[in-house]
Structure 1
């Protein structure tokens, strides 16, 4: 237990001030939202996305202002959420490459078994039918009735094959129809208000799958039907797949670093609006200028930083039709 009278938030704030960083500077460097940085300094850890992010954000904050993140976490461990909660363990396993690799191997093995089950079942049925025909033919080879039975069995098998072929053709047509609908899916922008842009996706697929890729580390949160589906910081070049409910009528996507983020829904690329980014930049520049007027020592730098940071944050709403 730490004997330091300061809280961990006060220690971080003092180190930030000593470095000459503003909260906007820190947000730009760490890609952690400003409201989370303020919550860390005030000790309001319940305002952060979860127990895992309390330690992750504090460590990143500490290393940015020149402190040893691991030492700081150990020193103030009594002020931080437990690392033994299920949420923390699950999140650590998710970010651990070896754990993900092992899980993928299990999933691949299960998928192979599932693919082989129908094949094995079909082979067993065919073998059973052939054995039955052979047995009937051998037993009654000297009688004409036996020949008729064999012919009847052959017709039955042929009829079954024709039925299976018809069902396969029907399934193929359904798949083609679904593929055609997906290819006709399109986005249209409905409105832009501040950093929020609303789109409509027409001919949206029944299975709504989001694929999110970033060229640099970025924080992303996905919400649908009022519930959080995913939130976290994506490393560069990693693809995150998020599946929505088939009954979902809309999805809300918060981007902490929009310019480096690409999103597709059902295989269709979402056109992240550049107009939103420009409008926000203008607003941010005005804010930065106001900050300079108040006499901030680093006014010009703060204005530029605020403009860049704000333009990166976007809230995208997609409505499915």
Structure 2
């Protein structure tokens, strides 16, 4: 019997608890992401540039600290994005996160958002065409009334000179009929018509909040921050707008005066590019 063996013949390494083996086989979410990043030969800066997730948040997630994400929806979106960037399946990590944090958050209902957009086109501005027509008709009526009144004055002069007086009929003012206001043609979107020589993108967060990033065609950063609930941002460029949406399910887009009807999921990270011709007709 060797000195290093226990009385039952097993080595000391065989006496390790079974739970330690399971823990070694199932690393934490942050540790799994970090190991996959190192295996892929990527640095934290590389992952941050590829995913648009800030360096501080990448470090926190790799240390299993999800507080800087700002909530479960954002944490799940970051986990999914980082897992894809380091070439591993995000589903087991998301399942483990849901188990540790009380389950998957319920999706935000989309019905109020579309209902609000249908109400906006009913806003009408002053109808200047109808006002001009009414003014022209009024001027014509005034001129006609002045001419008829002048004829009446001539009749009174003839009576004063001694001719047989005649009873003149009372002057009737011409009836001015105001034309009916033409109904405006319905617009394709809830926002005003955008200029055709530029690309115009409006990003709104009607029922939630989301981190967004916007750049012009030169790569210049137009906005990088959190869009709070009820806020909106509008971006314009001569050629294109590049967008990154941290939680696409909370965002409503209007591009070149038209609503984008894509159904994004809560927590979904989207990278979008729009030009002057978007959205395509048909």
The TM-score normalised by the length of structure 2 is 0.37
More helix by share: 1
The TM-score normalised by the length of structure 1 is 0.34
Bigger-Rg structure (1/2):
2
